[in-house]
Structure 1
Amino acid sequence: MLCNFYDPDLRQPVLGSCYPGRRITVLIDWFTVAAQIVNFLILVALLKHFLYDRIIRAMDKREEKISSRLQDAEDERKKAHEEAESYRRKNEDLKNAQEQMLDEAREEADRKLKELTHKAREEVDTARRRWQKSIEKEKNSFLQDLRRMTIQEVYDISRRALKDLAEVELEERMVDVFVSRFRQLKKDKKDTILKAIREESKVVIRSGFELSQASRQKIKKMLKEEASEKIEVTYDTDSQMIMGIELKSRGEKVAWSIRDYIADLEDRAKAALDKQIQESKE
């Protein structure tokens, strides 16, 4: 653009002049300046279009890619953190579940142990009660047999002894003892019996043997003397009453039996059995 412009003064040294004392005049060509500005703008536009824009786009793409990678990395980090947190929660839940299962297992074991212990204790108690019941049954059976045998033996021995020694029947002697016992009753008991006899005017005499006519007369005489009234007497024989006589009227009764003498023997036998049972328990 400056090819046709020639200025020899422009090639002179800046600090000095070829022509001392000469004033230098600089001429500005505005057209050239404008042309240079236009050229610069065109250059800037070309650089922007062909270089800067591409560089900026490449930088933007690179930045986007970096941002995307950073975002992916952040997402992966968050995902890893969430997975770690999830694993921690699952591990904690598993631990809690394990502890709960262990607690439940302990409780179940304790409950089962208590149940088995209680069941075993009940079985032992049942077996002990069954054993005690069996022992009690055998004891009662033995005592009944002992009572029956003792009474029968005493009856037979007494019968033979009285007959051999005094020629007196045992049954008659038992009636005598009964009449004597009735007369010797305590006043309140005797008054109660006599009141019932007078009001009822009936008496039932129950014995374990058939009373002879003489024995019946003794009883009637005793009633007449004690009650002072005419009394209707009914006699009843009960084979279960061995060596015994009972007077009953209007719910009141007086009885005498050889059982009264056997009671002490029975009590001592029972005490001996109880002692033996207690020792077997120990």
Structure 2
Amino acid sequence: MLEIKNISKTFEKGTVNEHVAIKDMSLNLKDGEFITIVGSNGAGKSTLFNAICGSFMVDGGHIILDNEEITYKTEHARAKMIGRVFQDPMKGTAPNMTIEENLALAYTRASKHSTPFSRAITKKSVKFFRENLARYNMGIEDRMKTKIGLLSGGQRQVVTLLMCTLSIPKLLLLDEHTAALDPATAERVMEITKQIVDENNITTMMITHNLNQSLTTGTRTIMLDGGEIMLDLSGRERDEMTMDDLIKMYSAKKQKQFDNDRILLSR
């Protein structure tokens, strides 16, 4: 489904600020697979997502999505195939546009049909949007003409999730999409995320700083460090893994203690 072959990226190459962000990384995802990604700050998690989305061109290697080479496609072209939800609830939407306008814009952009945005907001489409929102009990299906910037963080993330999945993407990227929410709201948004992904069998990658979440969500866990994949866990090995086991495995492989406070405090 997704094939990442030996990609690399170095920023500010040849300067005193040179930073190797991704080192000869390879990764394969099967259709419908749900991978969680964990790692310290600077490990390369968001950089990997940016490489997949086309926020920059990689220095080398190939990115293939659903048997299509996308390595040199523009970010705009990839957006029709890839959905992404960011940590910041203010990203990924137009805050001064209404809920129905944001949903119509996303649906038009991802649709295979070139329907003009001006014709995307119809009674039929708004009914479709409302019915989908109502399923998640977040109290927003009757606020279709409310500007999205006036919603709570959790409500906004649910709208963003729906924007990314009304037209099923080939790949869904979740960039710590519950990290900025209070615990109860984060749990509810995570439940809705799992529901959407499971019902539509969406191939998904999710960055998280929560070690327990990384082992209990989805089907596979990878740990990044210094732009490389340090650990890749699935099946029975992952099922039997505890958070302490994961930290010990990392320490044994790196020959140093795992010292990321944010991750350790999430245990």
TM-score class, shorter-chain normalisation, is under 0.3
Q: Give the TM-score of the pair, scaled to structure 1.
A: 0.23
Q: Give 1 or 2: higher helix fraction.
A: 1
Q: Give the TM-score of the pair, scaled to structure 2.
A: 0.24
Q: Which has the larger radius of gyration?
A: 1
